Chain A
Amino acid sequence: MEASQFKSDQYVRFCPGCGDHAICMALQKAMAQIGVPTHEIAVISGIGCSSRMPHYLNTYGFNTIHGRGGAVATGVKTSHPELTVWQMSGDGDCFAIGGNHFIHEIRRNVDLNVCVFNNRIYGLTKGQYSPTSAKGFVSKSSPFGTVERPFIPAQLVLGAGGTFFARTLDVDMPTTVDCMVAAKEHKGCSIIECLVNCVIFNNGTHAWIADREQRAEHSIILKHGEKMIFGKNNDKGLAVEIDPQTFVPKMIVVAADDPRVLTHDATQPDPTLHRLLALMGQNLVTDVNSQPTEDSLPIALGVIRNVEAETYDQAVNKQIADVREKAKAHCFDELTATLERW
């Protein structure tokens, strides 16, 4: 299938230069690659810039209310597991007003493909800080800087028992498409943190890795089964080191040919290493005063975690089928026949 088959007739109204354009195109490409026909796809969103996405896709779509996309999507997928269900959300929609639905869709492992557009700002309401804005961030609603600690989305996902977590960047189309395809293939709740730039209210928020020159040095694209090598010249590798006093493990950068360089295993059920990988470089985004240094760890992109577990929608439907198979009554008249009557 072609990406154009997934484009709706609607004029795309993201701001010129917004990272959401790239995610939209990546999703259309990914859908074409996946090959599920448009009528078997439902794209559910809440409110925010990200949540405009369904309008630009020629599938079934539902642009609902702020924060509730996850709950609506859970209803769609659970009642109709044969559908492919995507959820489009943002850092405000998912981590603030919709936080409860977000953690519970992950906990239940509903087979949804969730793209969270993280620009660390409320764009549609014109520039307030969000739950992922760095501490000290100055915005219209925090004129003296925020005093709040932000969420690190990966922590939230892993804390809720997430089975799939990927991180991608608006300007890296191939990785974004790869992550989306992997999310669809994964049976369970797949969270993709899409780092997007808000050109109007938070321009350059991901510059540390978005800058083409810097990206190779400041990020690593993790691929399952491949060595964790990065750098402009592919000369650096990642290893894990355990502090002999505290036994706390941490990631370290070593030479690419160091035997300690790890091979990425996204399917490892134990999330310890996935967490270490996902947290690399996150200190840079949690406090406005954090400055990167030359030995800062690279920010991990790509599919960090991808493990299989029973999905909620499957389990719910299986239980109904199992009960029905053994049940004596299958319709209303048979049900009422079991009542005490006189």
Chain B
Amino acid sequence: MHPQLNLIHKVKHIVVRFCGDSGDGMQLTGNLFAQLAAELGHEISTLPDFPAEIRAPQGTLGGVSGFQVELGEGVYTPGDKADVIVAMNAAALKVCTLGSHFNHPQAHFDEQFSLYHRHAIVMVDTDSLTNKDLEKAQYHTANPFEELGIPESVQIVPVALTTLTKEALKDSGMDNKAMLKSRNMFALGLICWLFDEPMEKAIHLLEDKFKKKPALIAPNTKVMVDGYNYGQNLALSVNQIRLESGASRVESGEKGRCTSIAGNRATAFGLIAAAEKAGKHLFLGSYPITPATDILHELAGRKDMNVMAIQAEDEIAGVCTAIGAAFAGDLACTTTSGPGLSLKSEAIGLAVMAELPLVVVDVQRGGPSTGLPTKTEQTDLLQALYGRNGECPAVVLAASTSANCFDFAYEACKIALENMTPVVLLTDTYLANGTSIWRIPTMAELPAIKPQSVPEDLKGHYNPALRDERGVRYWAYPGMEGYEHRNIGLERDAERGTISTNPENHEKMVLARKQKIEQIANSIPELRVQCNTDSDTLLVGWGSTEGHLHAAADELNCALAQFNYIMPLPKNTREVLSQYKRIIVCELNTGQFAAYLRAQFPDIKMEQYNEIQGQPFAVERIVAYGSKSI
């Protein structure tokens, strides 16, 4: 490497990937760095990417855990590929370099599959490239860089991370194993130097992170600061990077009102806020399932907010306990992923038939069956819309950023309580585990929620079929004197509310339940077109792909319509779609939303672009598709 001046490159946004063994603390390091970046005023978007195994054998390819973050301004996604890689061992280096081809014998760096660009900076722990390490990671030669065919344009920065960490802690009295656990902090310090970020905030964050284990604060801080200072030694060979975004990004009025939040946590917060606004007791019936379990964790810990979170004996009991709580007058929710949604289908049908408010959160993952439990996909859309017996309409919403999981969880509760219906909220692994910046709302700012109630003059004459002018049935529940009634999963008489098998009545009730869902379109916002609205081309997406499609639409200089309301659709959907010559419906499935839209608007021509790899979209591939003329 040639000695050169310590130049500082200025960039708008940049992608960093931390990559190591699943025991190396990569998620923690990545999260700390992302949080630091956010605190310093950058926009962030993160993508944790971890193996399904809790602990694969150390140093093996199956155990590689990654955390990618994009920071800067105009950040919509965690980025397709990294500009900076931190590889903690030989296996991580291989996985980052070869991407999805890491298992192919004789595979070489190929920018199409690699997790980093050909001009990336790759920091690698040279202490973790011993013959034993290389063997575990299935290298065939003693020179990993050559074997992987890493091109010269990639700037490899070898750092003896392990040695340097041990050196930093030599006086700490810690044992070898404990010292090695701090390697990630050395890497974090080094990255902070690379981005020319001040250390004070990072130290403060570290103190906060370890506040429950104060003994860890001093050694980890020491290692991190040593990592930062070591960066000075690299100054001759590596250029520092300065992001142009920063403090200015945070508008003055918003100061102190932002945080970074993962989608699952945002979802939990949305449910909590809605319950408080509605004056209802929040009940969660749930069963552990990846990647939804963090919502259960969060709510189980929120007894201070008066949340009752039940870990049920199975998925069915999760939804059924919630239905019981809804019958008894609570704001009731159940959280799950695709396989759990399948198990809950019959009970969701019960909530449709009994016309009870119920929020079902489906954090989608790769399917079918057990599928890809830790990966992301948008393949439960049709299940959410139609996966129940009978004519069984329910509201379907989809969140589109980690932070707006809050808004749509809140909205799901509002719609459920005001319209006496189950609402399925679709998020996915990408949103659930990823983080984005959340502007924290106050309770006063949030829209009112007016749970359906029952007029007093119905006391003594109430039955569960009585509806208001919108077609929404009145809600009375145990404890209310004079409103005793029997609710059912059987068809009910439209007037008396009792069991009925009358043919005309059944048709009337099927239509009444359908109409009840359709009228919700009157109270949801219209579809808003983003990016270049004057273009002839419209990208259409739903849910978690918003960031990627926004970035793609910007590059293609075309328009974007991203749907959050799926059932019912916004009222102006036809009007929007009919304004564009070319419509490309982009989804992480084989075309479920496209099929749904085509069924509603058979006269509107739509193309579709799909990826089903368990990963978020790659912006460059959407752009490549969109640039092709038809």
Instruction: Evaluate whether A342 and B258 lie within 8 angstroms (CB atoms) in the complex, with A71-B320, A330-B305 already known.
Output: yes
B281 on interface, CB distance cutoff 8 Å: yes
Contacts of B534 in A (CB 8 A): none
User: Known contacts A39-B478, A72-B321; can you find 6 more A-B pairs with CB under 8 A?
Assistant: A47-B489, A80-B329, A324-B306, A333-B442, A335-B305, A341-B440
Contacts of A331 in B (CB 8 A): 276, 305, 443
B35 on interface, CB distance cutoff 8 Å: yes
Instruction: Evaluate whether A320 and B443 lie within 8 angstroms (CB atoms) in the complex, with A38-B484, A78-B321, A79-B325 already known.
Output: no
A335–B481 alpha-carbon span in the complex (Å): 35
A74–B312 alpha-carbon span in the complex (Å): 10
Nearest Cβ in chain A — how far from B31, in angstroms?
A: 11
Q: List 21 A-B contacts (CB under 8 A).
A: A10-B498, A39-B478, A39-B479, A40-B478, A41-B478, A59-B484, A62-B327, A65-B489, A74-B310, A74-B317, A75-B321, A76-B328, A77-B324, A79-B283, A79-B324, A330-B305, A331-B276, A331-B305, A332-B443, A335-B302, A342-B259
> Contact between A100 and B317 (Cβ–Cβ < 8 Å)?
yes
A131 on interface, CB distance cutoff 8 Å: no
Tell me which of B346-354, B413-421, B522-530 binds A: B346-354
- Per-residue contact bits, chain A 111-137, to B (CB 8 Å; 1 contact, 0 not): 000000000000000000000000000
Looking across the interface, which residue of chain B has its beta carbon closest to that of A312?
A: B310
> Contact between B323 and A64 (Cβ–Cβ < 8 Å)?
yes
A295 on interface, CB distance cutoff 8 Å: no
> Contact between B443 and A75 (Cβ–Cβ < 8 Å)?
no
Contacts of A79 in B (CB 8 A): 281, 283, 308, 324-325, 328, 330, 332
Contacts of B479 in A (CB 8 A): 39-40, 80, 82-83
Instruction: Evaluate whether A65 and B346 lie within 8 angstroms (CB atoms) in the complex, with A42-B328, A342-B258 already known.
Output: yes
Contacts of A72 in B (CB 8 A): 320-321, 323-324, 327
Nearest Cβ in chain B — how far from A134, in angstroms?
A: 29
Chain A count of residues within 8 A CB distance of the other chain: 55
Contacts of A101 in B (CB 8 A): 313, 316-317, 320
B574 on interface, CB distance cutoff 8 Å: no
Looking across the interface, which residue of chain A has its beta carbon closest to that of B204?
A: A340
> Contact between B323 and A75 (Cβ–Cβ < 8 Å)?
yes
A293 on interface, CB distance cutoff 8 Å: no
**A-B residue pair count with CB separations less than 8 angstroms:** 192
B630 on interface, CB distance cutoff 8 Å: no
Nearest Cβ in chain B — how far from A333, in angstroms?
A: 5
> Contact between A60 and B478 (Cβ–Cβ < 8 Å)?
yes
B488 on interface, CB distance cutoff 8 Å: yes
- Per-residue contact bits, chain B 456-500, to A (CB 8 Å; 1 contact, 0 not): 000000000000000000000111111111111110000000110
Looking across the interface, which residue of chain B has its beta carbon closest to that of A340?
A: B259
Nearest Cβ in chain B — how far from A339, in angstroms?
A: 5
A72–B310 alpha-carbon span in the complex (Å): 12
A323–B498 alpha-carbon span in the complex (Å): 43
Looking across the interface, which residue of chain A has its beta carbon closest to that of B487?
A: A62
Contacts of B259 in A (CB 8 A): 339-342
- Per-residue contact bits, chain A 310-324, to B (CB 8 Å; 1 contact, 0 not): 000000110110011
Looking across the interface, which residue of chain A has its beta carbon closest to that of B310?
A: A78
A71–B314 alpha-carbon span in the complex (Å): 10
- Per-residue contact bits, chain A 193-226, to B (CB 8 Å; 1 contact, 0 not): 0000000000000000000000000000000000
A55 on interface, CB distance cutoff 8 Å: yes
A321–B56 alpha-carbon span in the complex (Å): 41
Contacts of A109 in B (CB 8 A): none
Contacts of A175 in B (CB 8 A): none
> Contact between A55 and B499 (Cβ–Cβ < 8 Å)?
yes
Contacts of A90 in B (CB 8 A): none
- Per-residue contact bits, chain B 496-511, to A (CB 8 Å; 1 contact, 0 not): 0011000000000000
- Per-residue contact bits, chain B 212-225, to A (CB 8 Å; 1 contact, 0 not): 00000000000000
A101–B321 alpha-carbon span in the complex (Å): 10
> Contact between A342 and B256 (Cβ–Cβ < 8 Å)?
yes
Closest 3 CB pairs of A and B: A75-B324, A327-B304, A75-B321
> Contact between A336 and B347 (Cβ–Cβ < 8 Å)?
no
